[in-house]
Chains A and B, each alone.
Chain A
Amino acid sequence: MASPNSILSVEKLRVAFGRTVVIDGISFEVRKGDCLAVIGPNGAGKTVLLKSLLGLVPHQGEIRWSADTRLGYVPQKVAADRQQPIRLADLLASKAAVQHLPYSDIFAVAAEVGLSPHVLNVSVGHLSGGQFQKALIAFALLGRPNVLLFDEPTASLDELAEEHTYDLLHRLQQEQGMTVILVSHDLSVVYRYATQVLCLSKAKLCMGPPKELLTPAMLEELYGGPSKFYRHISQ
């Protein structure tokens, strides 16, 4: 039974593609305002978990979002065709139109992520890596979501841009009380920002606050070898 403060409750979630079972009967809960980091080795099903939470892949079991949930999603990567004549403004305006939002919202979200108005006139295929990432976050923020799902949000960014992205994420969480579900390989980020960690692997499923969960023994078990990350984050 979900607790009153819960925004998401997942029970016995199972996802399979043909005969390959990617997620096998996991259950967990996310409270409002939490920042849940999903960690695990490659192929553990982190992205698939996020997609099933969004209803993008067929699944068994129950996924219950609380009634007032508005989801925003930042995917791992989007292969944008550089030649498409779609400006960032066209893209954001399309989502605003589909969701019946005022056109002026696209300027508000662009400002929120730190994109200057002239970038709105740039074709999406010509944005730099950092601008593209911000554009995806701005896209997710349209419609005032109260839950953000981030899939490896900084995988293609340099360190400075990565820092900016996480600061932005943190600020949104602090200022707007947003719930964040984040897939990340970067354990130092997980340690710094997450309030809860969900470990996903074939061998083990566990959940708890990062300080309790991210022990050398647990990481070794999860990733199947001594973790350099732990030494880095505990220093």
Chain B
Amino acid sequence: MHEGHILLLFLALCFAVAAGLIGCFALMKRMLLASDVISHLALPGLGVAFLMKVNPLYGGAITLFLGTFLVWQLQKKTGLATDASIGVVFAAALAIGAAVTPRDDLIDALFGGLESVSRLGFALGAAASVAVAIAVFLMKDRLTLSTFSTELAASSGVNVSRLDLVYLLVFSLTVLIGLRFMGALLASALVILPAAAARQFADRLSRFFVISVVISVASILAGFFFNTYLFHLSTIAPVTVMFAALVFAGSLAARRAW
């Protein structure tokens, strides 16, 4: 492997840690399906960036964060459930994305690619992952309260609406880190599956975080390993997600046998 691919592996591991952490709260906030489609919000931006031949991440980032903000506003203004509001924005984003993305780039945009990563790209991705981890650590108590009851959180002095926005933005930042190698369709799968599997084994928050991160990191490693030596696809995303799904299925079976 040359340097660009080694950096890609390390960037993917950073993403795995961030995804494992943020996913725990997506699961507890019962917004798994909603979070699953947040990554789709990047598609129109990716498409336009491909058309204009600029770094697709710039375009993806713009529509991802705009879409996230729109979802938050919809949820706040109209009182719609998060799931419903994200569903509306998601359908529109996917339609626009499919229309504008050049045909040759569409598969890459949807499922990710194995492009090598520059040192700057790696540094930015690693910094973003550290930022996600710090944000989760700082928000952990407020998120725990609002997960349990938004009213009790508000009566304890938590600004629930602002917390929701910051959480969604941190979630989107996590997706952005994994967008190029996991793709707009599968980037958030790695946020969800490890947390869902970890919940089968965890009886307290600290264990929940640790198990989720371990499964997430193991999925990325498995994705790289099996893709390199067995599947030879142009992206690690499918193998990574299939591995995480297998771990989840295994966790369900183990829980039942317990």
Contact = CB atoms under 8 A, between A and B. Distances in A.
A227 interface: no
Interface string B186-208: 00000000000001001111011
B141 A78 contact: no
A83 B203 contact: no
Contacts of A87: 203-205
B155 interface: yes
B152 A97 contact: no
Interface stretch (B36-44, B115-123, B126-134, B143-151): B143-151
A36 B151 CA distance: 22
Interface residues of A, number: 27
A73 B20 CA distance: 33
Interface residues of B, number: 24
Interface in A86-119: 86-87, 90-91, 93-95, 97-99
B149 A86 contact: no
B228 interface: no
B141 A85 contact: no
Contact of B204 (A73, A90, A143): A90
B43 to A, nearest CB: 32
B144 A94 contact: yes
Given A56-B155, A99-B156, A99-B157, A75 B149 contact: yes
B208 A94 contact: no
Describe B's contact surface by its main secondary structure. helix
B149 A78 contact: yes
B34 interface: no
B155 A73 contact: yes
B142 interface: yes
B164 to A, nearest CB: 15
B28 interface: yes
A84 B152 contact: no
B157 A56 contact: no
B154 interface: yes
Between A71, A83, A85, A87, the greatest number of chain B beta carbons within 10 A of the residue's beta carbon is seen for A85
Nearest to A84: B28
Given A80-B148, A86-B144, A98-B141, A71 B155 contact: yes
A84 B147 contact: yes
A123 B157 CA distance: 24
B203 A94 contact: no
B207 A85 contact: yes
Contact of B148 (A54, A55, A91): A91
Given A56-B155, A78-B152, A97 B141 contact: yes
Given A85-B203, A86-B205, A73 B145 contact: no
B165 interface: no
Closest 6 CB pairs of A and B: A94-B141, A97-B141, A94-B144, A73-B155, A85-B202, A85-B208
Interface of B: 28, 30, 140-142, 144-145, 147-149, 151-152, 154-158, 199, 202-205, 207-208
